[in-house]
């Protein structure tokens, strides 16, 4: 822990130049929104956002969620500040409502926002836009005021408050109502607020001090109820705490589904994301705001009193049939046995048993990869409803009549879409996000889909199941996620050393290494590059989030690259080509990325720590050549520790 804390301080101290960028996480947890008639307004870090109705559309609290804000069609969004604004960048939540649907009243529209020079910019929304983050750039010479997470307001139990500021800034704060100065307490960790408290804070960077930011947290006593049923009986918008424990039946992102002997409930809040897993017992004393969502009881922000689970218990799904599937089971964890998927229209599904004329509606809320539509399954899920119609959010499909094969080649010999279990172990080559590369004695393959576990090179997996398909000309396995359990560590696999001239289509998904290559940019393209060695050239595509090409990348140097051969075919068939997906780029004659050189400049310095710090806390990949130092497919504190050890002790 001391190493990690030292790392963060090292990263903060290593930030040199600074830009006046204000990052606003657009949700109703980090920001405090105030109703102004039918409109909504929030102010944070000196930036004010006013969301106003237009025509027949009225923004309400329904547009304010725990992980994004929904700006509806024909409404206006006004962004203003005390200093001139030169750029506004929007980041969508990834749900598909992410087209450039904003029309500014001044300045110029960019691909992801606006540029110009104004103290106030008003956008008219041409269509719904779900905004996860907004970055506002102010004129140089100013420091944004700090902001607080969660935003100020009424609290009902001990609450940890984080103070946030620009990268590299020092935060000073007070708790007694006095105005902070650079001599006040220095912020280093969240403040545990246990009574009504006013926090004031300033940020200082390169001798420039921000305006004072103020947040008041008013402690009130929440009503106490015994169980979920008593909580459900409360009037909406009542804050209450449940005085007995509940069990988590399923958790995914901002949705945590729980039960006790009296009923079922959904707890909605981004602050619980990743905190609990199925079977965890949430200790007594937690609470939040009681609301009703789609006819089901929901607890949402302000959430309080959620302690870590200290025990777990087995959770069994309650069996339901098509005939008894109804509103009384809202939020219940259930299983529908022996069912077929009768239709699939986007994320909308239908489930039917034994050719019955009745069916259960489903919605792929959690964006799972669906199995073979011709199979028969025990379908596990959460009961919910939409506009009064009962439906299921599926979370697992268990094949009733499984097929077994010996190896990858045996699975590929089946018809596309047919699920089968591979009985022999397979070896992991690389795992990044939804992409898992594996091999066995018969073939190399890509597994594409969301998995609960993260795997490392050399790991052994046994009993995995899935079906195969072809996407953009590339053959891949669609996994049955529940069969991808804990791995058995094995011997790491070295890539095959090869030249571009030797590459052919039979090597798709192979783990390859090419040495002494040059990398050339393609004009107007930030993901595709030309990779050349002494035998030929090919397209190198940045496909993994752990690898990027920085703006100051040295295109005159030679590089060794490792990664995977892929094939791309456009929908119209006009483009057909082999591509190379790198998971490592190392400069010839310099330190390799795995020994701490994040920016690819041939040395390991505090600047490499800063880049990792920016990835982890701000998802900022600027200047990163390879952030994944330990090869586990993601950037975490473990990667920072590798760089830290390289700087202080020379350990790789």
Q: How confident is the model at residue 632 (pLDDT cuts 50, 70, 90)?
A: low
Is the pLDDT at 135 greater than 60, yes or no?
yes
CA–CA dist 287, 304 (Å, integer): 5
Place of tokens 């030169």: 86
Q: Does pLDDT of 628 surpass 80?
A: no
Check whether 17 has a pLDDT greater than 50.
no
Q: For position 62, what pLDDT does the model report?
A: 55
Mean pLDDT in residue range 247-255: 93
How are beta strands 318-320 and 333-345 bridged, if at all?
parallel
565: pLDDT strictly greater than 70? yes
> What is the arithmetic mean of pLDDT over 313-330?
89
Alpha-carbon distance of 333 to 393, in angstroms, equals 10
| pLDDT for the residue 1 | 36
**Cα 163 to chain centroid, rounded:** 22
Q: What is the DSSP letter of 329?
A: G
Strand partners, 438: 428, 445
**What pLDDT sits at residue 3?**
38
Q: Per-residue pLDDT for 56 more than 50?
A: no
The pLDDT tens digits for 480-521 are 888 899 999 999 999 999 999 999 999 999 999 999 999 999
Residue 153: predicted pLDDT: 87
Q: What is the pLDDT of residue 551?
A: 78
> pLDDT category, 15, cuts 50, 70, 90?
very low
Confidence of residue 363 (pLDDT cuts 50, 70, 90): very high
Checking if the pLDDT of 418 tops 60, the result is yes
Average pLDDT over residues 208-233: 94
Q: How confident is the model at residue 651 (pLDDT cuts 50, 70, 90)?
A: very low
CB 168 within 8 A of CB 9: no
Task: Determine the pLDDT at residue 313.
Answer: 92
> To the nearest whole percent, how much of the chain has pLDDT over 70?
91
Quote the pLDDT of residue 631.
Answer: 60
Inform me whether the pLDDT recorded for 622 exceeds 60.
yes
Determine the average pLDDT of the residues in 626-641: 73
347: left (phi over 0), alpha (psi -120 to 50) or beta: alpha
Which tens digit of pLDDT belongs to each residue from 594-614? 457 787 666 778 787 888 877
Residues 576-603 have a mean pLDDT of: 77
pLDDT score of 24 more than 60: yes
Checking if the pLDDT of 395 tops 50, the result is: yes
Indicate whether 71 pLDDT > 70.
yes
Q: Specify the pLDDT at position 400.
A: 84
Instruction: Using pLDDT thresholds of 50, 70 and 90, give the confidence band for residue 61.
Output: low
pLDDT at 584: 94
Segment 433-439 mean pLDDT:
94
Q: How far apart are CA 247 and CA 501, in angstroms?
A: 58
Mean pLDDT of the 188-196 span: 93
- Strands 286-293, 238-242: parallel, antiparallel or unpaired by DSSP? antiparallel
Looking at per-residue pLDDT, the higher value among 649 and 303 belongs to 303
Name residue, tokens 């992991």: 428
Highest mean pLDDT out of 62-71, 121-130, 193-202: 193-202
CA–centroid distance for 96 within its chain: 15
Sheet holding 404-405, edge to edge: 404-405, 420-422, 465-471, 474-479, 444-448, 435-439, 426-432, 460-461
What's this model's pTM, rounded to 2 decimal places?
0.54
At residue 223 the predicted structure's pLDDT band, cuts being 50, 70 and 90, is: very high
Mean pLDDT of 431-436: 92
User: Which is more confident, 393 or 472?
Assistant: 393
Query: What is the pLDDT averaged over residues 322-349?
Result: 88
Determine the pLDDT at residue 593. 45
pLDDT (mean) for 376-385: 93
**Nearest one of 566, 558, 512, 565 to 534, comparing CA atoms:** 558
Q: Does residue 500 contact residue 538 with C-beta atoms inside 8 Å?
A: yes
User: What is the pLDDT, as a whole number, of residue 346?
Assistant: 77
Q: Based on the number of CB atoms within 10 Å of its own CB, is 337 exposed (0-12), middle (13-18) or buried (19 or more)?
A: middle
Asked if residue 9 has pLDDT above 60, the reply is no
Condensed to tens digits (0 to 9), the pLDDT of residues 518-557 reads: 999 998 888 899 999 999 999 999 998 778 888 788 899 9
Please state the rounded mean pLDDT for residues 576-595. Answer: 79
- Separation between Cα atoms, residue 515 and residue 589, nearest integer Å: 12
Q: Provide the pLDDT for residue 357.
A: 72
Average pLDDT, the chain: 85
């Amino acid at each position: 822990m001391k190493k990690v804390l030292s790392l963060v301080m090292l990263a903060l101290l290593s930030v040199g130049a600074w830009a006046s960028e204000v990052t606003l996480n657009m949700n109703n947890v980090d920001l405090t929104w105030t109703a102004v008639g039918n409109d909504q307004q929030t102010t944070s870090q000196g930036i004010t956002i006013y969301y106003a109705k237009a025509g027949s559309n009225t923004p309400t609290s329904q547009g304010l969620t725990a992980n994004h804000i929904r700006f509806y069609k024909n409404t206006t969004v006004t962004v203003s500040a005390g200093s001139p604004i030169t750029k506004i960048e929007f980041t969508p939540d990834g749900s598909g409502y992410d087209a450039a649907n904003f029309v500014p009243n001044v300045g110029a529209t960019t691909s992801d926002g606006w540029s110009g020079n104004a103290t106030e910019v008003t956008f008219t929304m041409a269509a719904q836009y779900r905004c996860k983050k907004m970055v506002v750039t102010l004129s140089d010479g100013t420091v944004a005021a700090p902001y607080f997470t969660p935003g100020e307001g009424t609290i009902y139990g001990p609450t940890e408050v984080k103070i946030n500021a620009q990268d590299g800034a020092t935060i000073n704060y007070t708790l007694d109502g006095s105005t902070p100065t650079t001599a006040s307490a220095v912020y280093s960790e969240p403040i545990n607020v246990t009574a009504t408290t006013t926090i004031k804070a300033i940020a200082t960077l390169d001798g420039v001090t921000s305006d004072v930011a103020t947040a008041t947290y008013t402690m009130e006593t929440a009503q106490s109820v015994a169980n979920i049923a008593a909580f459900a009986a409360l009037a909406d918008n009542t804050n209450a705490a449940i005085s007995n424990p509940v069990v988590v039946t399923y958790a995914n992102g901002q949705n945590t589904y729980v039960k006790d002997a009296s009923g079922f409930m959904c707890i909605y809040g981004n602050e619980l994301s990743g905190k609990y897993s199925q079977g965890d017992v949430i200790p007594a004393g937690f609470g939040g705001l009681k609301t009703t969502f789609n006819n089901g009881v929901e607890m949402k922000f302000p959430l309080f009193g959620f302690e870590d689970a200290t025990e777990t218990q087995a959770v069994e799904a309650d069996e339901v049939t098509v005939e008894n599937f109804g509103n009384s089971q809202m939020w219940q964890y259930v299983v529908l046995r022996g069912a077929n998927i009768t239709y699939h229209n986007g994320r909308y599904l239908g489930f039917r048993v034994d050719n019955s004329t009745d069916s259960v509606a489903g919605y792929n809320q959690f964006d799972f990869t669906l199995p073979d539509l011709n199979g028969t399954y025990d379908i596990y899920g959460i009961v919910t409803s939409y506009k009064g119609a009962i439906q299921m959010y599926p979370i697992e499909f268990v094949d009733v009549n499984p097929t077994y094969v010996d190896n990858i080649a045996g699975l590929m010999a089946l018809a596309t879409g047919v699920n089968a279990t591979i009985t022999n172990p397979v070896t992991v080559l690389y795992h990044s996000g939804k992409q898992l590369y594996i091999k066995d004695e018969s073939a190399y393959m890509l597994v594409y889909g969301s998995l609960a576990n993260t795997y490392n090179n050399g790991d052994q997996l046994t009993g995995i199941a899935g079906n195969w398909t072809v996407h953009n000309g590339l053959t891949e396995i669609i996994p049955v996620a529940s069969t991808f359990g804990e791995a058995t560590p094995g011997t790491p696999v070295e890539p095959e050393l090869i030249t571009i001239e030797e590459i052919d289509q039979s090597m798709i998904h192979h783990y390859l290494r090419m040495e002494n290559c040059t990398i050339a940019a393609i004009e107007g393209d930030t993901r595709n590059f030309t990779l050349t060695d002494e035998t030929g050239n090919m397209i190198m595509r940045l496909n993994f989030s752990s690898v990027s090409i920085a703006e100051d990348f040295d295109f005159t140097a030679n590089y060794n690259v490792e990664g995977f051969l892929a094939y791309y075919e456009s929908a119209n068939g006009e483009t057909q080509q082999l591509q190379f997906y790198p998971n490592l780029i190392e400069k010839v004659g310099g330190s390799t990325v795995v020994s701490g050189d994040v920016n690819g400049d041939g040395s390991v310095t505090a600047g490499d720590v800063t880049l990792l710090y920016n990835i982890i806390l701000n998802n900022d990949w600027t200047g990163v050549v390879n952030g994944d130092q330990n090869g586990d497919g993601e950037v975490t504190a473990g990667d920072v520790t590798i760089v830290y050890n390289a700087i202080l002790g020379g350990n790789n």
